[in-house]
Amino acid sequence: MLLEKKDFFLGTKFILLTFLKILIATNLIKNIIFGPAIHLVWERVNFPVFLNFSHKEKAIKEFSNYKRKFVFDLFCESSNTKKKLSQSISPNYLTKEKNVDLKKKVYKNLLFKTRKLINKYYQETIFTIINIFGDFLLILLLTIIIFKNSYQFKLFLKNLKFKFFELTDDNKAFLLILFSDTFVGFHSSYGWEILLENILKHFGLPQERSFIFSFVATLPVLLDTLFKYWIFKHLNGISPSIVSTYHKMNE
């Protein structure tokens, strides 16, 4: 029993340290190699600023919001006294000189904002490409490590399974309910929606609402079906008391 606990502790320590080392190595390679290299290539080849139409639409929306606020604040500033406010009702309030000055001010400010937005979204595009290369490297390193240390991973999973069946039926049922409610429960759709939006944003893909809603409406149902199938097919044969407790706690 003591040996099994020690094996489980060592296995857990090995898994955590392995993942931590891979994450640190990936981030270092991203910052030291991928970052400078992609910046250099992107600037020399003159790739587009925006990854897709959705990315461009986001920039246009941000620019439009800024433009409306800036123009409104500018006109409020030019009519900041009661006297000016009463004069501003007249269509002849703005002289040609004032009109030209306002147009120049608006043009210069909006041009400056446009350049800032272009630089901002240009950097976002580069960071997205860096993330894609970094994630590919992370998956590659994980695959190699798991393949080379398959025995340790199998032993860890075996010990984890053993620890699960060591728990009382109430605790097992609680963990099953917690897992099912988190991933396929009534409120899980909101979590899936946020998760998918962040994944699409991370990889620079269009965040189409119709695709997200279709995904959220389909995946939890599929996972719920598979989870119930696993309970009745496998868990019911191993420990019927867990299934009985699970149903009672659900009710």
Assign 3-class secondary structure to the chain: CHHHHHHHHHHHHHHHHHHHHHHHHHHHHHHHHHHHHHHHHHHHHCCCCCCCHHHHHHHHHHHHHHHHHHHHHHHHHHCCCHHHHHHCCCCCCCCHHHHHHHHHHHHHHHHHHHHHHHHHHHHHHHHHHHHHHHHHHHHHHHHHHHHHCHHHHHHHHHHHHHHHHHCCHHHHHHHHHHHHHHHHCCCHHHHHHHHHHHHHHHCCCCCCHHHHHHHHHHHHHHHHHHHHHHHHHHHHHHCHHHHHHHHHHHC
pLDDT at residue 65, as a whole number: 92
pLDDT at residue 125, as a whole number: 87
Q: Domain for residue 99, yes or no? A: yes
pLDDT at residue 200, as a whole number: 85
Residue recorded with tokens 């040996």:
3
Q: Domain for residue 118, yes or no? A: yes
Cα 229 to the chain's mean position, in Å? 30
Domain shared by 97 and 173, yes or no: no
Domain shared by 74 and 51, yes or no: yes
Q: Domain for residue 159, yes or no? A: no
Residue 88: name the closest of 79, 99, 77, 76 by CA: 79
Amino acid at 208: E
Q: Domain for residue 57, yes or no? A: yes
Q: Domain for residue 60, yes or no? A: yes
pLDDT at residue 82, as a whole number: 45
Domain shared by 67 and 42, yes or no: yes
Domain boundary residue among 152, 180, 196? 152
Residues 6+ apart with CB under 8 A from 19: none
Domain shared by 125 and 190, yes or no: no
Domain shared by 90 and 197, yes or no: no
pLDDT at residue 72, as a whole number: 82
Helix 169-184 to helix 240-250 angle (10° resolution) is: 60
Domain shared by 83 and 201, yes or no: no
Yes or no: say if 25 and 17 are a contact pair by the CB < 8 Å rule: no
Burial class (CB in 10 A: 0-12, 13-18, 19+), 201: middle
Amino acid at 1: M
Domain shared by 191 and 95, yes or no: no
pLDDT at residue 196, as a whole number: 87
Domain shared by 121 and 190, yes or no: no
Domain boundary residue among 152, 180, 215? 152
Domain shared by 195 and 148, yes or no: no
The one-digit pLDDT tens for each residue of the chain (251 residues) are 544 566 667 777 888 888 898 889 898 998 898 888 888 887 777 777 888 888 888 889 999 999 888 888 877 776 554 444 445 444 555 555 556 677 778 888 889 999 999 898 888 888 888 888 999 998 998 888 888 888 878 877 877 777 777 777 778 777 877 877 777 766 667 778 888 888 888 888 887 888 888 888 888 778 877 877 777 776 666 666 666 666 665 65
Q: Domain for residue 157, yes or no? A: no
pLDDT at residue 2, as a whole number: 46
Q: Is the dihedral of CA 86, 91, 92, 94 positive or negative?
A: positive
pLDDT at residue 63, as a whole number: 92
Kindly report the pTM of this predicted structure.
0.69
CB atoms within 10 A of CB 179: 12
Q: Domain for residue 160, yes or no? A: no
Domain shared by 111 and 182, yes or no: no
Provide the number of structural domains found in the chain.
2
Residue 198: name the closest of 207, 189, 190, 208 by CA: 207
- Structural domain of 196: 167-250
Domain shared by 101 and 26, yes or no: yes
Domain shared by 145 and 214, yes or no: no
Q: Domain for residue 66, yes or no? A: yes
Report the C-alpha dihedral over residues 14, 155, 227, 164, rounded to 10 degrees.
-90
